[in-house]
């Protein structure tokens, strides 16, 4: 009998603010998902090419490449691979850019409440325990 090994979905966390990446990592992993962390958009795209995420939580404003570049780059990569892009959530300071909601699955304002973040993750990913 061949037993299938279950790999929990990957959540790619992209933010240049280290304390925020640490908080997001704790939340993601406490929910039973794998986390990958990048500190700018270029790192995020490089990581995503190696370990395709199911969900991306990305800051909008970062050095080298911001969150919009991450969204566009992942869409292009998904199209080139012939696969669906990951779910994408932009983390924004206040509600500075409500029009960005047209580009992604969701926006969450900083500072965010942990239960809001958990609800968003559960909205886009199956519970690891149910797989």
Average pLDDT of 21-43? 96
Domain assignment of residue 117, yes or no: yes
User: How many C-beta atoms lie closer than 10 Å to residue 72's C-beta?
Assistant: 14
Mean pLDDT for the stretch of residues 93-101:
62
The whole-number pLDDT of residue 102 equals 65
Residue 1 lies in a domain: no
Could you check whether the bond before residue 51 is cis, i.e. omega within 30 degrees of 0?
A: no
Would 93 be classed as within a structural domain?
yes
Residue 2 placed within a domain: no
Number of domains in the chain: 1
The CATH number assigned to the domain holding 108 equals: 3.40.50.2300
More confident residue, 128 or 45: 45
Q: What is the mean pLDDT of residues 104-125?
A: 89
Please check whether residue 5 lies inside any domain of the structure: no
Instruction: Show the domain range for 63.
Output: 10-125
Confidence tier at 131 by pLDDT (50, 70, 90): very low
pTM of the predicted model, to two decimals?
0.89
Q: How confident is the model at residue 4 (pLDDT cuts 50, 70, 90)?
A: low
Q: Which residues contact 19 (CB under 8 A, 6 or more apart)?
A: none
Question: Considering only CA atoms, which of 126, 129, 31, 42 is closest in space to residue 87?
Answer: 126
Helices (H) and strands (E) counted in the chain, each on its own, are 4, 5
């Amino acid at each position: 009998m061949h037993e299938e090994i279950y790999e929990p979905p990957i959540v790619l966390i992209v933010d240049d603010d280290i304390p925020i990446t640490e908080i997001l990592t704790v939340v993601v992993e406490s929910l039973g998902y794998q986390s990958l962390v990048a500190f700018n958009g270029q790192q995020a795209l490089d990581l995503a090419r190696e370990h395709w995420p199911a969900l991306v939580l990305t800051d909008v404003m970062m050095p080298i490449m911001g969150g919009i570049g991450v969204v566009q780059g992942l869409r292009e990569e998904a199209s080139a691979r012939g696969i669906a892009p990951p779910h994408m959530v932009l983390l924004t300071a206040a509600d500075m850019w409500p029009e960005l909601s047209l580009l992604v699955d969701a926006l969450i304002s900083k500072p965010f409440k942990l239960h809001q973040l958990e609800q968003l993750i559960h909205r886009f990913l199956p519970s690891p325990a149910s797989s």
